Amino acid sequence: MTTIAYKDGVIAYDSRQTRGGAIVSDNAPKCQVVDGVSFFLSGAVCDEKALIAAYFGTPSAVAVECSGYAVDDGKLLMVGHDDKTGIWRQELDPENPDAIGSGSAYALAAMDMGANAEEAVRAAMKRDIYTGGKVVTFRMVG
């Protein structure tokens, strides 16, 4: 899986990709930009295209096993797949830190203790075997 953290206008994420209990890569890209929307996704890599397509109105006929954040027109959204409607999205309060993925509990605890988003992902990397590689940051504009 992965760890993606948000705090104070910054999204940070690791670069590790795993399959089962094996590390596939520590250089996996986690940000995809489609039609001006930045997606930061966690879960099954093979389902990312289906989730992005559902975001833009093309629902998937099968279950989609990934979710994440989207930055659309300066707004931070949590996005996922709903088997009935195709997509669900929820605007997040930009004042509240948030994290998703396998290391999210570690990242949230670190942010509660004062860490920024990048430091929170680094904290998750120490305890979550599915979080690793490099830490990449994205600063929201808006």
DSSP state of 93: P
Do the domain assignments include residue 59?
Answer: yes
Q: Specify the residue for token string 């899986």.
A: 1
| Whether the Cβ atoms of residue 51 and residue 67 lie closer than 8 Å to each other | yes
| Whether the Cβ atoms of residue 69 and residue 39 lie closer than 8 Å to each other | yes
Do the domain assignments include residue 55?
Answer: yes
Do the domain assignments include residue 114?
Answer: yes
Asked if the model's pLDDT at residue 85 lies above 80, the reply is: no
pLDDT in tens, 26-81: 999 999 999 999 999 999 888 999 999 999 998 888 889 999 999 999 999 999 98
CATH number of the domain residue 58 falls in: 3.60.20.10
Do the domain assignments include residue 139?
Answer: no
Six token digits for residue 108: 């949230």
Domain count across the chain: 1
Residue 20's pLDDT is what?
A: 86
pTM of the model: 0.93
Domain of 102 in residue numbering reads as 3-129
Residue 142's pLDDT is what?
A: 60
Do the domain assignments include residue 37?
Answer: yes
Do the domain assignments include residue 57?
Answer: yes
User: Confidence class of residue 138 from pLDDT cuts 50, 70 and 90?
Assistant: very high
Do the domain assignments include residue 117?
Answer: yes
